[in-house]
Homo-oligomer: A and B are copies of this chain.
Amino acid sequence: MQGATTGHRERKKAETREALRAAAIRLFLEHGPSAVTVNDICEAARVSARTFFNYFESKEAALFAWDQHLSDELASNLAARPPHEPPLTALRRAMDDTLPGFAAQTGWHARKKLFSASPELRTKIVNAVFRVEARLVDILADRMGCPADGLYPQLLAAATGSVFRAAFITWKPETGIKGLQALIDQAFDHLAAGLTVPAS
């Protein structure tokens, strides 16, 4: 698994991944997530059922565009923040820097529509976000030179996950990525203000 051995393999993998994702989104929208089986998705994408789970961890994971690539980007963006920046600020900026890549993904409308229509998907987001939190903990602990199992880094990472989840759930996709960005900013403002009751 070291980088691109050759273009061909990489390209085929990306194609398969996209085919699976596209098939999943299309079928989920058509029939609802629970009425679609992994086999249905795989037939549409012309691969075996087992292969699906080589690419995604769960049936619904195909919807999370932010799984690998963006999680990596967020992690490296955080690691790149100046070391003496306050942690919450560093986290906010790192998310800011990651959001454009987020916006560049395709099919956001369809995906978010799916999430609004099927609340059972929320629990799947939670797990995906949790994985990212786990990575953030390590980077934060590293930055601050403190153990990763301390209260403060754990809380920081979990709070950042909370920001994303709350913003994503609240987000109306008609407002575009700018709208999501604004919600994330607001949520960080709430945190920075100690979660006091907002004026509005």
- Of the candidates B149, B183, B197, the one whose C-beta lies within 8 Å of that of A169 is B149
Contacts of A83-139 to chain B: CB distance below 8 A = 86-88, 122-123, 126-127, 130
Interface string of A125-168 (1 = CB under 8 A from B): 01100100000000000001000011110111011011101110
Q: Which of A15-23, A26-34, A184-192 contacts B (4 or more CB under 8 A)?
A: A184-192
Residues B158 and A154 in contact, CB atoms below 8 Å apart: no
Question: Which residues on B sit within 8 Å (CB–CB) of A158?
Answer: 161-162, 165-166
Q: Is the CB of A196 closer than 8 A to any CB of chain B? A: yes
Residues B86 and A152 in contact, CB atoms below 8 Å apart: no
Question: Which residues on B sit within 8 Å (CB–CB) of A154?
Answer: 165-166, 169-170
- Of the candidates B130, B155, B187, the one whose C-beta lies within 8 Å of that of A151 is B187
Q: Is the CB of A1 closer than 8 A to any CB of chain B? A: no
Closest B residue by C-beta to A191: B195
Copies, count:
2
Report the minimum CB–CB distance from A87 to chain B (whole Å).
7
Q: Is the CB of A82 closer than 8 A to any CB of chain B? A: no
Q: Is the CB of A194 closer than 8 A to any CB of chain B? A: yes
A183-B165 Cα distance, complex, nearest whole Å: 24
Most chain B beta-carbon contacts within 10 A, residue among A126, A150, A151, A190:
A151
Closest B residue by C-beta to A163: B155
Question: Which residues on B sit within 8 Å (CB–CB) of A162?
Answer: 155, 158-159, 161-162
Q: Is the CB of A193 closer than 8 A to any CB of chain B? A: yes
Q: Is the CB of A198 closer than 8 A to any CB of chain B? A: yes
Report the minimum CB–CB distance from A150 to chain B (whole Å).
7
A170-B154 Cα distance, complex, nearest whole Å: 8
Residues A195 and B159 in contact, CB atoms below 8 Å apart: yes
Residues of A within 8 A of B (CB): 86-88, 122-123, 126-127, 130, 144, 149-152, 154-156, 158-159, 161-163, 165-167, 169-170, 183, 186-187, 190-198
Q: Can you name 12 A-B pairs with beta carbons within 8 Å?
A: A86-B196, A86-B197, A87-B195, A123-B130, A126-B126, A150-B170, A154-B165, A155-B190, A158-B165, A159-B191, A161-B162, A192-B194
